Amino acid sequence: MAHPYKYNPVTREILQQLQEIVGPQNVVVDEEKMEVYSRDEVSEAMWQKMPEVVVKPETAAQIAAIMRLANQELIPVTPRGAGTGLSAGAVPMLGGILLSLERMNKILELDRENLFMVVEPGVTTGEIQKTAMEHGLLYAGDPCSADSSFIGGNVAENAGGNKAVKYGCTSRHVYGLEIVTPQGEITTFGGKCVKDVTGYDIVHLMVGSEGTLGIVTKIYLKLMPLPKYTADLLVPFDSMEKAIEVVPKIMANGGIIPTCLEFMDKYSIKAAEMYLNRQLPYSDAAAYVIIEVDGSSEKQVEDDYETIGRLCLENGALEVFVADNLSAQEKIWKSRKCYAEALRMLSPVYCMEDIVVPISKIPEALKEIERIAEKYAVKIPSCGHAGDGNIHCTLLKEDRDEPTWHDLKEKVLDEIYSMVYRLGGNLSGEHGIGAKRKEAMSKYADPVQLKILQSIKKALDPNWILNPGKIFDPPAQL
């Protein structure tokens, strides 16, 4: 639906000015070439929108010039990384300029003395992990999309991923950001100082702001020594309740904070088995728990996984498979990391949610999701991060027609979101609000919180041109 606030179109004169800023070869107007920029990983057509132009800057100065032009002409600008998001957050829903950061793809510095890496936003997370590892260091941010997602997108969404239970989300590793403001000014907040309370914590306001408050052009990432030893456990259970209930026992009774603590339900296991085209161990189990431990000594890691294995078996595990070499570890993780691709094979159109609840409420949330699935006769596979309460439950469209699918989806999501808030949870743990959950945000979030968020947006972006239509709508009158 078009918003009553009137943005201006990208004219021939504006295209010429954009070409002068970044060069003609970096201004794309051909619809066939722009099509890939009209969507992210959300599969539904309603969350796709063609930009009027795609611009590919290479420097912060070029981005600043683009923003000054866009402000002057009241043209919306949508920043974009690799397009691996799951909330339509990088889709130009209100048209205008799609600003792709793909050419800003350099690792600028690896500072071993201070344990920092300084990077541009278009570097893949996997490349950052690999470069750190080559120097005996660890970048602990680890979203499942690490091989394809850009670090700038991870920052925009405060990506979590597999290792968040021990090492935290992206925000824990970001100590500084160079920002281009919506008005086209360049500044740096934070840097290599480990402590900094000089004014407001703008770094962590920007992390997770979904590209609505500023464009990140340089990122200061904290590194740590690479753990020398790791081991992974694949633990099948005959009920999801037993699987999830073992999670707090591992951390409380075992006194261990695992690096990763993931779960998969029976539908996710079967989908992964089909996608990988190989037999998975105990693939008829009701649930998998996948656990990783790391440490500086082999004995510590062995002690940890033996303690965890014992706790799992005492609490209903069918078996405990231990992988302590790279090949075996990769086999365990492939089933978890292929989740989205496996579901796409079952149903090309689906609705992946990103709800988060207190860890102790995961069993109740999963029971409610199963009840809702039965009530509406829809398949809702679930997997996610058991160690931090983040559940990826996914509604499958299958062979339903469009009107039936959209009506069903609205009813199911309304029940799921209501349940999440009743359990003390929230709409999104790591995928963000974007355009996809904007209406749900307006319905379920505290109005006082929404008012505060909108006031921050208006203060930093008074013309509401930067990624408008995400998190909430621009006002009718500015």
Per-residue pLDDT tens over the stretch 403-412: 999 999 999 9
Q: Which amino acid is at 55?
A: V
For tokens 């750190």, the residue is 132
Nearest to 384 by CA among 285, 240, 281: 240
Q: Mind listing the pLDDT tens digit for each residue in 233-262?
A: 999 999 999 999 999 899 888 889 999 999
- What does the mean pLDDT of the chain come to? 95
Non-local CB neighbours of 301 within 8 Å, separated by 6+ positions: 229, 230, 231, 293, 294, 295, 324
Residue 477: band (very low, low, confident or very high) from pLDDT cuts 50, 70, 90: low
476 has a pLDDT exceeding 80: no
4 has a pLDDT exceeding 60: no
Cα torsion angle, 274, 247, 260, 258, sign:
negative
Beta pairing partners, 322: 233
Give the end-to-end CA distance of the chain in Å, rounded to a whole number: 19
Question: If you average pLDDT over residues 274-298, what whole number do you get?
Answer: 95
140 has a pLDDT exceeding 50: yes
Residue 328: band (very low, low, confident or very high) from pLDDT cuts 50, 70, 90: confident
* Element of type H or E holding 416: helix 402-422
Residue 1: band (very low, low, confident or very high) from pLDDT cuts 50, 70, 90: very low
Q: Which pLDDT does position 253 carry in this prediction?
A: 81
Residues of the chain with pLDDT > 70, as a percent, come to 99
Using only C-alpha atoms, the chain has a radius of gyration, in whole angstroms, of: 23
478 has a pLDDT exceeding 80: no
2 has a pLDDT exceeding 60: no
Q: Mind listing the pLDDT tens digit for each residue in 441-458?
A: 999 999 999 999 999 999
Strand ranges (E), 181-283 = 186-190, 215-222, 224-225, 229-237, 260-265
Q: What is the DSSP string of 352-372?
A: E-BEE--GGGHHHHHHHHHHH
Nearest to 33 by CA among 98, 124, 113: 98
5 has a pLDDT exceeding 70: no
Highest mean pLDDT among 61-65, 144-148, 356-360: 61-65
* Residue pair 124/114 in contact by the 8 Å Cβ criterion: no
Pick the range with the lowest mean pLDDT from 56-60, 140-144, 377-381.
140-144
353 has a pLDDT exceeding 60: yes
Domains located in the chain, CATH noted: 107-225 (3.30.465.10), 229-340 (3.30.70.2190), 347-433 (3.30.70.2740)
3 has a pLDDT exceeding 70: no
323 has a pLDDT exceeding 60: yes
Nearest to 209 by CA among 81, 89, 104: 89
